[in-house]
């Protein structure tokens, strides 16, 4: 099969490219290299079955040209990272809502299967965990710019489902929970790459807030496999499916775990949210996926636990720092 991955030079996109190529697909990547990096796909391009187009998903003629050439579309291109979202809200909203509209229009024109990567952010501050796909969403005020991301992604989901409802365009939506692994630079503040880098340098590990907020971290390899399985699953058409890992940990315990695995004895410090992000920020206390639908549709199960993930990231970061 020939597939298009928008955002394919990004962290998740490049792992998905590798996963789909190993299943025999030829891959076209459309990426503006804003947060994506050429290094992520350089080796795959050399194998000869991946082609990169450096351009934006907001350009209808470029997107149309790409979609026409392929049999299916994974739409990953998106602003990403809490810090980027807070600092560049216009780019965030325009790229997410505008880009998805453009890609969906071309998919509708050529009747191409479309998979949207959405996000666990759309659940917002819901207090009842685990989060299941049909749960209500709890959003903060529009003066807190963080929520622009969740709302823009929710609009993407509405638009995607609207194409399914009105014309039965074969769409799928994956809601990704925190995803980590080798290759994630965390330049826009993702917690695990930040903590690992701090620990390896022997710098203080900066825990924001009281550190009792929780997250669950999935290995990007598991998530990439889940995405490709969803695209291959006819029953997933028109559905929203959580992908992630349900092993929950507080951010403070995560900092301790990373400090111990890195073995550098770095100090752990608590930083108030206002100091870390300025105004415009709001955090959620707990975030845990309900993975039952992914399990029943595609037999999804996280094969790597948190320690596996952390060891992988520490090894990758060590090699990067040495090189
Ligand atoms: N966080 C932290 N220190 C950092 C970066 C993040 O304590 O240097 C916290 C952040 O406030 C949040 C959690 O770690 O509670 C996960 O943050 P991340 O930005 O990775 O993703 P999120 O789950 O918030 O989208």
Strand arrangement, sheet containing 171-176: 50-54, 26-31, 2-6, 72-75, 114-119, 171-176, 240-243
Residue of 77, 147, 65, 149 whose CA lies nearest to 109: 65
What is the dotted CATH code of the domain comprising 2-180+218-245+288-303? 3.40.50.720
pLDDT recorded at residue 268: 97
Residue of 116, 132, 98 whose CA lies nearest to 164: 116
**For residue 285, what is the DSSP state?**
S
Q: Which atom of ligand 1 is nearest to the CA of 287?
A: 23
Instruction: Note the Cα 38 to chain centre separation in Å.
Output: 18
Contacts of 195 (CB under 8 A, 6+ apart): 205, 254, 255, 258
pLDDT tens digits along 66-75: 999 999 999 9
First-to-final CA distance of the chain: 37
- The three-point CA angle 147-149-154 to 5° equals 95
Q: Which atom of ligand 1 is nearest to the CA of 83?
A: 19
Residue of 61, 56, 49 whose CA lies nearest to 3: 49
DSSP readout, 92-108? Answer: HHIIIIIHHHHHHHHHH
pTM: 0.96
Distance 64 CA to ligand 1 centre (A): 36
pLDDT tens digits along 207-235: 999 999 999 999 999 999 999 999 999 99
pLDDT tens digits along 165-214: 999 999 999 999 999 999 898 777 799 999 999 999 999 999 999 999 99
Distance 190 CA to ligand 1 centre (A): 6
State the alpha helices, DSSP H only, in the chain: 11-22, 39-46, 60-68, 82-87, 89-93, 99-110, 146-167, 191-201, 220-232, 251-262, 273-277, 292-298, 306-322
Distance CA 186, CA 201 (A): 16
pLDDT recorded at residue 168: 98
Would residue 149 show up in a list of annotated catalytic residues for this protein?
yes
Distance CA 51, CA 186 (A): 25
Pocket test for ligand 1, best of 179, 215, 220 (most atoms within 8 A of CB): 215
Kindly list the protein residues whose Cβ atom lies closer than 6 A to any atom of ligand 1. 82, 178, 189-191, 194, 206-209, 213, 215, 251, 283
pLDDT tens digits along 105-155: 999 999 999 999 999 999 999 888 999 999 999 999 999 998 999 999 999
Please tell me the residue having the least CA distance from ligand 1 atom 13: 191
Query: Which residues on adjacent β-strands are paired with residue 241?
Result: 174
């Amino acid at each position: 099969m020939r597939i298009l991955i928008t955002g394919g030079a990004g962290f998740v996109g490049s792992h998905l490219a590798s996963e789909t190529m190993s299943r025999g697909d030829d891959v076209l990547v459309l990426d503006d290299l804003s947060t994506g990096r050429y290094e992520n796909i350089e080796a795959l391009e050399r194998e000869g079955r991946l082609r990169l187009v450096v351009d934006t998903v907001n350009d209808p003629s470029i997107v149309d040209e790409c979609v026409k050439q392929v049999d299916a579309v994974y739409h990953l291109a998106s602003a990403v990272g809490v810090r980027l979202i807070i600092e560049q809200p216009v780019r965030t909203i325009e790229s997410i809502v505008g880009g998805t509209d453009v890609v969906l229009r071309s998919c509708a024109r050529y009747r191409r299967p479309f998979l949207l990567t959405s996000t666990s952010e759309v659940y917002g501050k819901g207090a009842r965990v685990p989060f299941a796909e049909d749960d209500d969403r709890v959003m903060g005020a529009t003066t807190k710019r963080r929520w622009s991301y969740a709302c823009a992604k929710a609009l993407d989901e509405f638009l995607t489902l609207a194409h399914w409802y009105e014309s039965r365009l074969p769409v799928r939506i994956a809601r990704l929970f925190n995803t980590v692994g080798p290759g994630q630079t965390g330049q826009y503040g993702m917690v695990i790459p930040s903590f690992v880098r701090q620990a390896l340098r022997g710098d203080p590990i900066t825990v924001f807030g009281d550190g009792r907020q929780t997250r669950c971290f999935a290995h990007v390899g598991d998530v990439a496999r889940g995405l490709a399985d969803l695209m291959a699953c006819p029953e997933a058409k028109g559905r929203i499916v959580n992908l992630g890992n349900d092993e929950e940990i507080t951010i403070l315990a995560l900092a301790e775990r990373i400090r111990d695995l890195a073995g550098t004895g770095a100090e752990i410090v608590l930083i108030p949210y206002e100091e870390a992000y300025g105004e415009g920020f709001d955090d959620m206390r707990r975030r845990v996926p309900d993975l039952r639908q992914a399990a029943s549709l595609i037999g999804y199960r996280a094969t790597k636990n948190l320690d596996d993930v952390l060891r992988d990231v520490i090894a990758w970061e060590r090699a990067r720092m040495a090189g």
